[in-house]
Structure 1
């Protein structure tokens, strides 16, 4: 049996190594709308084999063998997340990621001090990689994504085991973590996105919380009787705060929920594991104070808070209108909200349903959990109510923030899913054999893994082309910004170019667009489609920027919903239009106004 297991592991790690080498051997030659399509099929076959063997050994073995199986699966998923680095992307991310790149560049250039940012964690680590590794800032930030991601894969199964002392729960939690449910590609992304990156640190804080509750107060004490796990809770909470405060406040809410349940239990119960656990009153106050002092001292946070309050009371802001608009646009290009839901959220919906039913069964006393393990499930389950309340506030006020909140909720659900699936499969093994139950679980989780991993990155599959930034794009933007007339705005085709100004020059200097007399923006699609190129931007002379990303998004993915191929081709025949910059992935036109 041991020899067979060793052969399986050898095959799995060989497949993983082969997949990485094959992917590395075929780097991206130009802009890629999908990292999935760009990566060779043979590499995906190798990754698939490694994951299949990892799932089988994680569920079918125990002890050291199970740990190696979890390691194989976690390393394979990390390899998939690392594909932009492996395949030599210059950078990935055209929205917030470029702004974060700019802030990192400002820190490197000495124009910005890290603590002046409300969330300097990602940027500071990127700066460290840049100086210590001697790599470009863009590549340093891509490496930071991976470094932040790894703790999620490690501490989700560790937290599930700490909650239940069950190797089975640990194995299931590990597999569910490989689906990367906190990433929804609506408001959380696998990229340089500090809110999303912070999500992957949350399980470290949760592990410290559960460990501080579970470990006896008479052992493992620091001087003055301080629990090392409480210290770890404070330190990881501060690390999370520096990564992004929104996820820190969610942790404060969770810890406060634990404290509230403990207070109620001590009032109503004489004997229960909750009564014997260390109280979370002080940690709630300490973490809440740290959060308050840090955030209220930052103007950016105060501005965001005001915007949220205004959004709550505005009548024309909310997720409902946004969903209706996107649903109509999808219908026009042959898609549907239902189709998109299956691709993006079916795996999350299944896990959410399983966890919801399990928590309810636990509260009704229908599970085999002991009273102490049930208390941890109760803590997480009850915390979903205030966390859900925050989601509703965001839903009404700032829709994007609502889906960020969903990301945090799914960190909790991922951990709870390990406990829930362990009990579900345990019950199923009483009906059929244990190997049969594991086989059913492996097939079901395998399907969820496919759904989860095919939407970790944006791609045309979810009507969102990949945000791969090539050398040619950076070069084109840099040439256009530096050689263009100062009084002419740079206008994008459905995309405002100011983000590239951030990425190339930072936000603290006074370069190019920041000194322009006319704001940047997007060309008017109706005027552009009518062939009125001169009047397509408020009657100004302007530079129109068209990248391979724009063409892929508007022509191939959106199927000419806003801009058509014929309108783009018409630029070359228009006498008021001159192409002034051109390379493989970038074109810039100087367009004279009607005046």
Structure 2
């Protein structure tokens, strides 16, 4: 029966992917969820249900392992939907700039070492040259590969810290929650910090193997030492800010080992027999400093964070959580609130964090299962490592350093993704004397069935969380390319909110970016364009802008009438339109100036 269910699960997943792949987008899609064929979601749902049932009921190990493979494949299918659906690109802000950097590296315009974090761009170039895919789809493939690394190495990390198949099984599904992705400062699209967070799953696994399984007497360089150094270097290349988080964790480990070796702490007895982590920490720190000290950005960011931290210590941190307050006001204007968005985005994270907290408390009080020996020490390391990371999160939040605090939250959720399955397994093991095994497994499946959809519903931004999809269409790229190529170069080209410079980055490359594309038009000026400062000039906007403002943001800043007013006011001429991107020439309010710019007084020269 279980074999038949597995066959059904894989067939359902394959059918869902087939239907999604044969349903390409017809234009900009505001939500990946609602625009993807319902048959895909049915197929993935059946696959997940089969995976859950077989994982926790099958009697044979190969069947349960195959079920976990099915669960992982289903998660990858969801994460890879932009690729499966045939999107031109996915990621409309930072992602387009990353795409531009990849184009520059590919063309030889920019040397990789001049970039602060070149790894994602190099992986895109390698993907492009190996597969022949376009740079856009190569970058999307690179993002999916790094997401898969997270999905694989979270369960492997749990395996390195336990001897329990059930804990690993829970870890496969907790990894499917993709807790580090919040759509606040971490994203499923090309975003170097997020990809660095996903890649950190591999580094943590190597760290766990080094500390928990390497012989304590090893003095020579072993393959695991070399692997740890290589992966550490790679993480710095993906994003130094995430590398700083891990370096802080490694420093905590080294400090704990040093202190415990000289003091009689009973709860940390397993640490005494472990291999010291001093040398890997020094190597990682040297790599980090040698790379980051080459860039002015490192020193300016360090100065800013240090200043904020000192203000926090002196009791004058400034507006606390300013960006959260601002977003809360915006959500209130939409008839929602922070409580709703916190529930939608963070509820699964908070539940698993509470579960992980029980394990941390047990580690601090010395109540972990003694049979696991030095692997208990690793749990203690992660527990103590939460202290400085949480401190940074608080300082960033109190100092209102943009939304950077949610970057650190993403790293904390990576640690929770490892700790929560271990905690849940131990909790269930502790209840095994009171309840039967089928009852406990049914409760576990029930918890996962409730939390998994809630988590996967927020992997992609959508109106469900008051955000637009990051879908970039063929017509957007082509329309902006036409606008950049044929508009009068002596006049500004502006956009809605910010200027269209992101598209300039993605299409022309960052090295060729023009400062004129940095400016935007406010909603108040949309109906009086010829009278505003800067005319004559050009205005470009796409269906993405309209759907974002009217659909996702419900007209909070720009209404449908604002966009309609552009087409109807005197002195504004439509130069081009491909059904997605519209380019307008805005004359000045002076009629003579309009005549000279238009040539014949009716149509502007492109």
Shared fold per TM-score greater than 0.5: yes
Range that drifts further, 268-277 or 325-334: 268-277
**Pairs within 5 Å for 1:184-203:** 184-203=182-201
| Per-residue CA distance 1:26-58 (angstroms, 9 max, x = gap) | 011110011111111111011011112222233
Q: Is 1:104–1:124's contact at 8 Å kept on the other side of the alignment?
A: yes
Q: How many angstroms apart in 1 are the aligned matches of 2:306 and 2:250?
A: 25
**Pairs within 5 Å for 1:287-306:** 287-306=284-303
Are the structure 2 counterparts of residues 64 and 318 from structure 1 closer, same or farther at C-alpha, using a change threshold of 3 Å? farther
Q: Is 2:323–2:400's contact at 8 Å kept on the other side of the alignment?
A: no
**Pairs within 5 Å for 1:562-581:** 562-581=557-576
Q: TM-score, normalised by structure 2?
A: 0.92
Cα offset for 1:369?
Answer: 5.2
Q: How many angstroms apart in 1 are the aligned matches of 2:139 and 2:202?
A: 21
The equivalent of 1:416 in structure 2 is 419
Q: Is 1:362–1:369's contact at 8 Å kept on the other side of the alignment?
A: no
Q: Is 2:495–2:541's contact at 8 Å kept on the other side of the alignment?
A: yes
Report the RMSD for the aligned CA atoms in angstroms. Answer: 2.0
Q: Is 1:106–1:507's contact at 8 Å kept on the other side of the alignment?
A: yes
Q: How many angstroms apart in 1 are the aligned matches of 2:61 and 2:273?
A: 30
Q: Is 1:59–1:172's contact at 8 Å kept on the other side of the alignment?
A: no
The equivalent of 1:328 in structure 2 is 329
Extract unaligned runs of 5+ from structure 2.
591-606
- Which of 154, 171, 174 is the aligned partner of 2:172? 174
Q: How many angstroms apart in 2 are the aligned matches of 1:450 and 1:270?
A: 43
Range that drifts further, 542-551 or 403-412: 542-551
The equivalent of 1:394 in structure 2 is 396
Are the structure 2 counterparts of residues 276 and 310 from structure 1 closer, same or farther at C-alpha, using a change threshold of 3 Å? closer
The equivalent of 1:445 in structure 2 is 448
Range that drifts further, 500-509 or 318-327: 318-327
| Per-residue CA distance 1:421-456 (angstroms, 9 max, x = gap) | 101222333322111111111111121110111111
Cα offset for 1:146?
Answer: 0.9
Range that drifts further, 371-380 or 125-134: 371-380
The equivalent of 1:475 in structure 2 is 478
Q: How many angstroms apart in 1 are the aligned matches of 2:200 and 2:538?
A: 44
- Which of 455, 461, 466 is the aligned partner of 1:463? 466
Cα offset for 1:406?
Answer: 0.7
Extract unaligned runs of 5+ from structure 1.
none
Q: How many angstroms apart in 2 are the aligned matches of 1:278 and 1:335?
A: 52
Cα offset for 1:228?
Answer: 2.3
The equivalent of 2:261 in structure 1 is 266
Alignment of 1:139 with 2:137, yes or no, is yes
**Pairs within 5 Å for 1:496-507:** 496-507=499-510
Q: TM-score, normalised by structure 1?
A: 0.93
Range that drifts further, 210-219 or 63-72: 210-219
Q: Is 2:216–2:273's contact at 8 Å kept on the other side of the alignment?
A: no
Q: How many angstroms apart in 2 are the aligned matches of 1:450 and 1:17?
A: 20
Determine helix, strand or coil for the equivalent of 2:531: coil
Are the structure 2 counterparts of residues 454 and 493 from structure 1 closer, same or farther at C-alpha, using a change threshold of 3 Å? same
Give aligned pairs, total: 581
The equivalent of 2:524 in structure 1 is 526
- Give every structure 1 segment of 4 or more consecutive aligned residues whose post-TM-superposition deviation is greater than 6 Å: 314-317
The equivalent of 2:232 in structure 1 is 237
Alignment of 1:384 with 2:382, yes or no, is no
Cα offset for 1:175?
Answer: 1.0
| Per-residue CA distance 1:119-152 (angstroms, 9 max, x = gap) | 1111011111212211110010010011111111
Q: How many angstroms apart in 1 are the aligned matches of 2:461 and 2:251?
A: 35
Q: Is 1:539–1:594's contact at 8 Å kept on the other side of the alignment?
A: no
The equivalent of 2:48 in structure 1 is 51
Q: Is 2:274–2:374's contact at 8 Å kept on the other side of the alignment?
A: no
Cα offset for 1:254?
Answer: 1.2
Q: How many angstroms apart in 1 are the aligned matches of 2:46 and 2:236?
A: 38
Determine helix, strand or coil for the equivalent of 1:250: helix
